[in-house]
Chains A and B, each alone.
Chain A
Amino acid sequence: MSEEIRKTTCYMCACRCGINVHMQDGKVKYIEGNKDHPVNKGVLCAKGSAGIMQHYSPARLRAPMKRVGERGSGEFEEISWEEAFEIAIGWLAPLREKSPEKMAFFTGRDQSQSLTGWWAQAYGTPNYAAHGGFCSVNMATAGIYTMGGAFWEFGSPDWERTKLFMIFGVAEDHDSNPIKMGLGRLKERGAKIIGVNPVRSGYNAVADEWVGITPGTDGLFILALIHELLKAGKVDLNYLMRYTNAPFLVNGDENSPEYGLFLRDKQDKPVVLDRKTGKPVAFDKPGIRADMAGTHKVKGVTHRPGFQLLAEKYLTDEHSPEAVAERCGIEAKTIRRIAAELAHVAFEEEIVIKRPWTDWKGEKHEKMVGRPVSFHAMRGISAHSNGFQTCRALHVLQILLGSVEVPGGFRFKPTYPKPVEAHPKPHCKVTPGAPLDGPHLGYVRGPEDLCLSQSGEAARIDKAFTWENPMSAHGLMHMVISNAHAGDPYKIDTLFMYMANMSWNSSMNSSKVMEMLTDKDENGEYVIPRIIYSDAYSSEMVAFSDLILPDTTYLERHDCISLLDRPICEADALADAIRWPVVEPDRDVRCFQSVLIELGARLGLPGMVNEDGSAKYKDYADYIQNHERRPGVGPLAGFRGKDGKSSGRGEPNPNQIDAYIKNGGFWIEHIPEEAAFFKPWNSAYQDWAVERGLYDSPQPYVFQLYVEPLRKFQLAAEGHGKIQPPEHLRQQVKEAMEPLPVWWAPFEEDAVDTEEFPLHALTQRPAAMYHSWGSQNAWLRQIHGTNPLFVSGEIFSEHGFKEGDWAWLTSRHGKIKVPVVKMEALNAKTVWTWNAIGKRAGAWALDEKAPEAQKGFLLNHLISELLPPRENGMRWSNSDPITGQAAWFDLRVKIQRAEAGSGVSQPHMEPQKSPVPPAPQNVTYGEEFKK
């Protein structure tokens, strides 16, 4: 069937499935899933199978280019790599010596952040992040602060054992194949699936029960479930007592600077009451039984276990199903029944695995008891201005049910669980000509960790880790262009970006962003003076850049799916993987990471040059094999040591990549059986993780129902401590940084007249398309070539829409004209469309009359990156006030019928000139193999 099979890793989306690439006559003939691979076990989605069309896409860039026309026009001249390097170094080297913060390096859907972050740190700029800020940082951060991990890369449901599965706010992505495989397994086993989503497509279509919730109210719904469970006493007290901070004693003196903080002993350990003796003791003292019912007085101040504060908060009537039903669009009796089902399955259908294990205090357990309810959630609940606290609420619900890291529940995938304490803090101290003082991104423990200048201004261009969004662990890529254009907090010189379509679908307010990118100052210079961009394809962003560094396709490159980065492990196994050039590039393009390493060497960055100034690494492959982040720990964990026999830790192996290729492109090692569950508290797991280099010492910890770092910010807002928020943010910090999950109405809802803008507007990603990248794909664009606005049956009849009609969709910020289609299986007050199908004419090597550029549209034009001005004239970013996550799904709109006119959606941008030759008319792929 083919001459040879080459096994590598897919990159048609972020799932990182293993693929078998069948080759014939040096060309790619067929791509199928790799059956041995831990992520996809042989299956492959539509995108993965369409990889051939991506690899041979006519939109592939061919050589480095410099801009010769005006920005945005798309006029370029192809240049040599030497000239490209000279231009880049000519910009980057002087900046580094004088003011490295004027170079901002932001990478989009990059999966090599352990390299790009390390590079940016060595360069010395504080301005580095990837795309998490406009993706799902709320989910990740809420998970880390609560339990040391979240969903997807951090962990997954125990598909083989769970009996009741709830999935919130997930379209057909993240993480695509494993969820489909998991749902298939649940169906086979007859487990129940409840889908919570305003739209009943994809996974929600096959769910046994669909809860068509009103957007932005998931937090209210979840807290009502918690209310019901607490009222009925259906929480796992034994689990809470042992594995969470529920018993930690909390200071109750309203006037104290310690108010709301944990009582600590002399070793600074939080204290609990021992139920046997009634005495306060360190929480991790072996042999104690922590009390949650008592209180403890110290110097007249009553301290109460956090669990009491939690119960008191959620047992109030405002959290009852009746109180939230209308707002959520879910009947109270349905909320009560779902709570009852959760309780029933968790406590009446518990699973017991007879497998002894020992906890971190040395206590031996004969069996592993599981609560077979599990959850998964993604952007639908996180891309709101209340997303962090909503994600927290969901994690708290799982923990109250005792279903995290137990059989049948949610299970972490190594390198997680990893508590806040095991993560770095953010760093921002700039020294011209020298590296930054530490990693850019991290987890703040309190106000002292914010990235502020001496005068209290934002140290970073995206204002991450400031009082506006203190826990912005992934940065705010969506604010970079807007802030750089405004010179707020300061002006930058060079914006360096990779793999992010920021002039189009990855920005809020796309039309305005295009203006910012092309705006000139009084001297006729661009306000953002220089833009370097790397992409493999002729995307919209290419036209707005000055220097283009063309990347390879995913089949032409080396890569590592590293444990240092975003791992692909399984709950039962440690795993990582590579990409390698299964096809050599036939154009003058280079793997971006190799280019970055060469730029680093030419700049003489520490770690990238030898003592004599020569380049330390030949290319990315050389770096993957020989770089050591810590002694013995490098980008790849498998086949380490000179003989290739070490796992996790070991010397670099000069033949490591070959060993991966022989092994099918990946490496996997299973976790010992006794270490497979209760990972944060299981001494066998902790010891194994240290041996494998995941930690340098055991890191046992308990889950944080009550998050003390949040309370520290709140305390500051209440006037305590030296580091104080600015007055205009004091109230927001006080309200947002609640240490127990809380719900507030999405900010946009508060800021607009909801009678004028009565509808919610959302986007979802189709299963067969990954952002912009799919549109150049001859096969995938036949599935999703246009994106109608799906309108609920109620709205459709109210406005007298007919098939084939067009509508004006208006927000507080903008107006677009779009085709409409009726959809009944949709929350009645919601309209939605597929994400990123609309294209600018001239991009992606598509015909200017392509449906993507004619009928296709972006909702982005309706979304501002800023909220409307408040009374004092100040404007806040349209983001979560804790993490800065872009609040895409807060959007409110109104709809009116429109004349179809020419049948072109509005706004319609001027075409950009294509820097690549026109695409072929017809494709008959495979013809050459028949000869």
Chain B
Amino acid sequence: MTSLPKSTDKKLGLAIDLDTCVGCHACVISCKEWNTSNYGSPLSDMDAYGAQPSGTFLNRVHTYEVKTLERAAQVVHFPKSCLHCEDAPCVTVCPTGASYKRSEDGIVLVNEDDCMGCGLCAWACPYGAREMDVAEGVMKKCTLCVDRIYNDNIPEEDRVPSCVRTCPAGARHFGDFADPESNVSILSAERGGFALMAEQGTNPVNRYLPPRSKADISGNDQIELPAPALEAETGGAKGFLSWLDKALEKI
């Protein structure tokens, strides 16, 4: 069993905007390419060109449809990676101490040298955020690109996780949730950021910003209309010319 730090100085994590995510998978692949040749062992792809390709990904996007009786169906794209929980069950379950949460910034990592690939942590994680690398036999997970965010060889503005840097729609934000003035704390407060499956008691650091209310064609125009209905002004095909003449005079 491995213990968690009592508290962490920082709580680094992601605020993911479900209102803006178009589900393009840019973050998924950028994560894959950065992490396959940096921290730890590569993220393998088994049967890569075959009948059942199966690779290791630290971040995946799921797509859900939301349908209620009152509203037209809505599609929500849901990117999912490790949420760097404060009460991370994947850490406490680890028999070798390979899984740990850093006291300085709260990042949950796996020390691959100590990982024996037993997979208990993946069972313990309620989010399914860990993936066993079949080729290497070690557990892989989001590192928040720990090898980018403190990396002096990278320009300062790029010291963010690869998924954040690449996101075309700007739906992913990185920062310190321990600091109430940070970008992610402010965003989360303004937009009602929520903890995923809070009832699990894992106390995740990452926050999801919920989709905003939408109008739809089922006739329930729930958003506030900025405009009154158009009044007939020109008198239709018949009266149009005299309206036009008057209107032109005003220009």
Q: Is A767 an interface residue (CB 8 A)?
A: yes
B175 in contact (CB, < 8 A): no
What separation, in Å, do the CA atoms of A824 and B165 have in the docked complex? Answer: 33
B-contact bits for A336-359, CB 8 A (1 contact / 0 none):
110111011100100000000000
CB of B237 closer than 8 Å to a CB of A: yes
Contact A337 B221 (CB under 8 A): yes
Number of A-B contacts (CB under 8 A): 305
Contact call A241/B33, Cβ cutoff below 8 A: no
CA distance A723 to B147 in the complex (A): 71
Instruction: Say yes or no: A187-B217 contact (C-beta < 8 A), given A205-B74, A308-B241.
Output: no
Q: Say whether A205 contacts B23, CB under 8 Å.
A: yes
Known pairs A209-B214, A845-B49; A42 contacts B30 (CB<8 A):
no
Q: Which residue of B lies closest to A211 (CB)?
A: B217
Residue A231 lies at the interface, judged by CB distance under 8 Å to chain B? yes
What are the 10 closest A-B residue pairs judged by CB atoms, nearest first?
A926-B37, A344-B227, A824-B73, A180-B168, A919-B49, A767-B24, A184-B170, A232-B230, A205-B75, A233-B233
Please measure, in the bound complex, the distance between the C-alpha atom of A228 and the C-alpha atom of B231, giving whole angstroms.
Answer: 9
Question: CB < 8 Å: which of B53, B154, B237 contacts A778?
Answer: B53
Among A202, A232, A767, A922, contact of B46 (Cβ-Cβ < 8 Å)? A922
Interface string of B212-231 (1 = CB under 8 A from A): 10111101010101111111
Interface residues of B in 119-171 (CB under 8 A from A): 135-136, 147-148, 151, 153-154, 157, 162, 165-171
Query: Please, which residues of chain A bring their CB within 8 A of the CB of B154?
Result: 1
B38 contacts across to A, CB distance below 8 A: 1, 926
Bound CA–CA A58/B240 (angstroms): 66
Decide if A924 touches B42 in the complex (CB within 8 Å): yes
A744 at interface by CB-CB < 8 Å: no
Which residues of chain B come closer than 8 Å to A778, judged between CB atoms? 45, 48-49, 53, 55
Measured CA separation A52–B21 after assembly (Å): 24
In-complex Cβ contact of B73 among A184, A200, A340, A343 (8 A): A200
- Contact digits for A318-351, partner B, Cβ 8 Å, 1 yes 0 no: 0000000000011101101101110111001000
A137 to B166, CA, bound (A): 31
Point out residues on B near A: beta carbons under 8 Å. Answer: 17, 19-26, 28-30, 32-34, 36-38, 41-55, 57, 65, 67, 72-77, 135-136, 147-148, 151, 153-154, 157, 162, 165-171, 211-212, 214-217, 219, 221, 223, 225-234, 236-237, 240-241, 243-245, 247-248, 251
A307–B52 alpha-carbon span in the complex (Å)? 61
Q: Which residue of A lies closest to B227 (CB)?
A: A344
Return chain A residues, CB-CB under 8 Å to B41: 924, 927, 930
Query: Chain A residue with minimal CB distance to B230?
Result: A232
Is A609 an interface position by the 8 A CB rule? no
Task: Please state if B230 and A231 are interface contacts (CB–CB under 8 Å).
Answer: yes
Q: A184-B171, A208-B215, A850-B49 are in contact. Are A49 and B29 (CB under 8 A)?
A: yes
Q: A33-B165, A308-B244 are in contact. List 4 more A-B contacts (CB 8 A).
A: A45-B24, A825-B74, A922-B45, A926-B42
Contact of A237 (CB < 8 Å), options: B72, B231, B247: B247
The complex places the Cα of A348 from the Cα of B23 at a distance, in Å, of 34
User: Known: A308-B241, A922-B46. Is A825-B73 also a contact (CB below 8 A)?
Assistant: yes
A232-B233, A291-B248 as given contacts; A922 in contact with B30, CB under 8 Å: no
Once bound together, how far apart are the Cα atoms of A230 and B237, in whole Å? 9
Between A and B, 24 residue pairs with Cβ closer than 8 Å are A1-B151, A29-B37, A43-B168, A45-B166, A176-B168, A180-B168, A184-B169, A200-B72, A205-B76, A206-B22, A210-B216, A211-B217, A230-B240, A233-B234, A316-B237, A334-B217, A343-B227, A345-B227, A768-B24, A778-B53, A923-B48, A924-B41, A926-B37, A926-B42
Inter-chain contact A782/B72, CB cutoff 8 Å: no
Q: Which residues of A contact B170 (CB under 8 A)?
A: 181, 184-185, 187-188
Cβ-defined partner of A30 (8 Å) among B21, B34, B76, B244: B34
Complex Cα spacing A202 to B22, Å: 5
A210 x B248 contact (CB < 8 A): no
Assess whether B241 is in contact with A209, with CB atoms less than 8 Å apart: no
Q: How far is the CB of B42 from chain A (nearest CB, A)?
A: 4
Residue of B21, B165, B230, B247 touching A336 (CB-CB under 8 A): B230
Closest Cβ of chain B: how far from A394's Cβ, in Å? 19
Contacts of B19 in A (CB 8 A): 187, 206
Hey, which chain B residues are within 8 Å of A87, CB to CB? none
Q: What is the CB-to-nearest-CB distance from A181 to chain B, in angstroms, rounded to a whole number?
A: 6
Report if A180-B169 is in contact (Cβ < 8 Å); known contacts: A206-B20, A927-B42: yes
Asked whether B49 lies within 8 Å of A32 as measured between CB atoms, the reply is no
Is B248's CB under 8 angstroms from A241's CB? yes
Residue positions of A touching B, CB distance < 8 A: 1, 24, 29-33, 35, 40, 42-50, 52, 58, 172, 176-177, 180-181, 183-185, 187-188, 192, 200-212, 228-234, 237-238, 241, 275, 289, 291-293, 307-308, 311-312, 315-316, 329-331, 333-334, 336-337, 339-341, 343-345, 348, 767-768, 776, 778-783, 785, 793, 823-826, 845-847, 849-851, 854, 919-927, 929-930
Complex Cα distance A311/B236, Å? Answer: 9
Residues of B within 8 A of A922 (CB): 44-48, 135
Interface SS of A by simple majority: mixed
What separation, in Å, do the CA atoms of A793 and B135 have in the docked complex? 41
User: A35 — which chain B residues lie within 8 A by C-beta?
Assistant: 157
**Which chain A positions have C-beta within 8 A of B147?**
1
Q: A46-B25, A181-B170 are in contact. Are A337 and B75 (CB under 8 A)?
A: no
Known contacts: A208-B215, A293-B241. The answer to whether A783 contacts B36 by CB under 8 A is no
A315 to B47, CA, bound (A): 62
Q: List chain A residues, Cβ under 8 A from B234.
A: 230-233, 311, 315
A275 CB to nearest B CB, Å: 7
Contact B167 A43 (CB under 8 A): yes
Please state if B153 and A1 are interface contacts (CB–CB under 8 Å): yes
Contact of A292 among B17, B30, B219, B244 (CB under 8 A): B244
Tell me the minimal C-beta distance from A905 to chain B in angstroms: 15
Q: Are B67 and A824 in contact (CB under 8 A)?
A: yes
Of A205, A212, A847, A926, the residue contacting B77 (CB under 8 A) is: A205
Q: Is the CB of B230 within 8 A of A208?
A: no
Say yes or no: A315 contacts B23, CB within 8 Å.
Answer: no
Provide the bound-state CA to CA distance between A50 and B29, in Å. 6
Q: How many whole Å from B72's CB to the nearest CB in chain A?
A: 7
Inter-subunit contact A782/B168 (CB<8 Å): no
Contacts of B217 in A (CB 8 A): 210-212, 329-331, 334
State whether B236 touches A231 (Cβ < 8 A). Answer: yes
Q: Which residues of A contact B169 (CB under 8 A)?
A: 180-181, 183-184, 187, 206
Contact A45 B75 (CB under 8 A): no
Find the A residue at minimum CB distance from B240.
A311
- CB–CB A921/B47 < 8 A: yes
Would you call B33 and A231 a contact (CB within 8 A)? no
A782 with B53: CB separation less than 8 A: yes
Give the residue of B25, B51, B221 whose beta carbon is less than 8 angstroms from that of A851: B51
Are the CB atoms of B48 and A49 closer together than 8 Å? no
Q: With a CB–CB cut-off of 8 A, which chain B residues contact A929? A: 37
Most chain A CB neighbours (cut-off 10 Å) among B26, B55, B240: B26
Q: How far is the CA of A735 from the CA of B206 in the complex (A)?
A: 59
- Residues of B near A312 (CB, < 8 A) are 237, 240
A228 to B76 alpha-carbon distance, docked (Å): 33
Separation of A121 and B138 alpha carbons in the complex (Å): 60
Most chain B CB inside 10 Å of its own CB: which residue of A209, A212, A923:
A923
Q: Is the CB of B21 within 8 A of A206?
A: yes
Please determine whether B20 and A183 come into contact, CB atoms closer than 8 angstroms: yes
Whether A181 pairs with B233 at a CB distance below 8 angstroms is no
Quick check: A49 and B74 within 8 Å, CB to CB?
no
Residue A340 contacts which of B171, B227, B241 (CB distance < 8 angstroms)?
B227
- What is the chain B residue whose CB lies nearest that of A314? B237
Expressed in whole angstroms, the Cα–Cα distance for A666 and B151 within the complex equals: 28
Judging by beta carbons under 8 Å apart, are B22 and A180 in contact?
A: yes
Asked if A45 meets B45 with Cβ closer than 8 Å, knowing A33-B166, A293-B245, the reply is no
Q: Is the CB of B28 within 8 A of A334?
A: no
Task: Known A212-B217, A343-B227; judge A202-B24 contact (CB<8 A).
Answer: yes
What residues on B are CB-neighbors of A930 within 8 Å?
37, 41-42
A177: min CB distance to chain B, Å: 5
